[in-house]
Structure 1
């Protein structure tokens, strides 16, 4: 059993508990009812995280096309400089 397999649940529980505790401390006093809310937030985060399986690895994305079509007009990619003679050579 590795800590890495539980890291998603630990982070979810810590963030839910921290959020609930910071909300409860809005008036600088944490009542017993607010501690119950903090505990329920932590337990809910752990339960939801445990119920949702990790996604399978997806296939790698294909390489980006060198041209795009916008409104029926084919253009180069945005990072490709325009191929016009009025552009300085160092900017082509």
Structure 2
């Protein structure tokens, strides 16, 4: 692994920028999903009456169902956000780093 191309990549400031930005985005999106999921689980565990409440007076659907569905949809959307950045911004930076690291 002592290839000089690897050394040039590691020394490139754009590589460090790419790693920093990608890590920050991944951690932020993961935190959003985990916090929302565990907040929902805490409500299920400690205040189930909140989620058990009906949506309306004549509704058979409880409040918990749309909240749970929203958590799933938000997770899918955040996956799309990450894919957008990975295939756009990060891929462009990756291509620049690759071009600049060639001998």
TM-score over 0.5 for the alignment?
A: no
Higher RCO, Cα 8 Å, sep 6+: 2
| Bigger proportion of residues as strand | 1
| Bigger proportion of residues as helix | 2
Q: Give the TM-score, by structure 1 length.
A: 0.37
